[in-house]
Amino acid sequence: MRWETLLTAPIALISPASWAAVYLTVEQAQQAMFPGARLVKAPLKLTSAQREALLERSGVHEPFREDRVWRAASGAFFVVDEVVGKHEMITYAVGIGRDGSVKRIEILEYRETYGHEIRDVAWRAQFVGKTAASPLKLNRDIVNISGATLSCKHVTDGVRRVLALHDLVLRKLNDDGR
């Protein structure tokens, strides 16, 4: 397999103050996970006992927004939720089958913020490139980043909470209550 590396010299530094990637809108994610299905918003009003149970089962502290749960005629559910990444929230969607199993997880929006880095002049001096005088809003469309991102543990915790929500509340919304 032939490959080439075209290296620009000198190596340039980009210090974005923040960047965000929007992968899917809620509607697009609904269509991707439940093609052709009609999703109806499920009315939820969690009691404090239920909220406590969700916290205990998942460890997620951020309040769960009740207005982003939809139900399909099949008895499956589509839930939008947010968890904290490093400094910003990561918005994601979970499709849950009628049997309570996870069908799919899609990240809707992923954001990173690193405002404090751009003030550190000393270490930046070793590079040639853009400086903090004009912090770039990074255009994610054209760059690929090598180097670990966050672990997805918070999303995994969030999904665990959504599954607990299904077990405690959502499955009872299905006609036979099972």
Partner 1 sequence: MVVERMRPLLGTFVAIRARARLAPTDLEHAVSLAYGAVSRVHALMSAQDPASDVSRVNRALPGERVTVDAWTLAVLRRARVIWLATRGLFDPCAAPGATTGFADLDLLAGEVRPLRSVHLTLDGIAKGFAVDRAVAALRAAGVASGVVNAGGDLRIFGADPEPVCVRHPEHPGALVAIGEVREVAVATSAPYFGSSCIDPRSGRACSSQASGTVIAADCMTADALTKPLLIEPAITARALQRFGARALRLPDARLAA
Which 17-36 residues touch partner 1, going by CB under 8 A? 21, 23-24, 32, 35
Residues 6+ apart with CB under 8 A from 104: 33, 94, 95
Is residue 8 involved in binding partner 1 (CB under 8 A)?
Answer: yes
Question: Residue 164: phi, psi to the nearest 5?
Answer: -65, -40
Of 27, 67, 121, 123, the residue at the interface with partner 1 (CB under 8 A) is 123
| Closest distance to partner 1 from the beta carbon of 108 (Å) | 9
Site for partner 1, residues 28 to 87, rule: CB under 8 A? 32, 35
Among residues 45, 49, 147, 178, which is the contact residue for partner 1, using CB under 8 A? 147
Measured between alpha carbons, how far is 45 from 43 in angstroms, rounded to an integer?
Answer: 7
- Using CA atoms, how far apart are residues 68 and 83, in angstroms rounded to an integer? 14
Nearer to partner 1, 113 or 174 (CB): 113
Ramachandran region, residue 177 (left: φ > 0; alpha: ψ -120 to 50; beta: rest): left
Compute the least distance from the CB of residue 107 to partner 1, in Å. 4
Q: Strands of 102-113's sheet, edge to edge?
A: 18-22, 102-113, 89-96, 77-84, 69-72, 39-41
Binding site for partner 1 (CB under 8 A): 1-8, 11-16, 21, 23-24, 32, 35, 92, 104-107, 110, 112-114, 117-118, 120, 123-124, 126-127, 129, 138, 142-153, 155-156
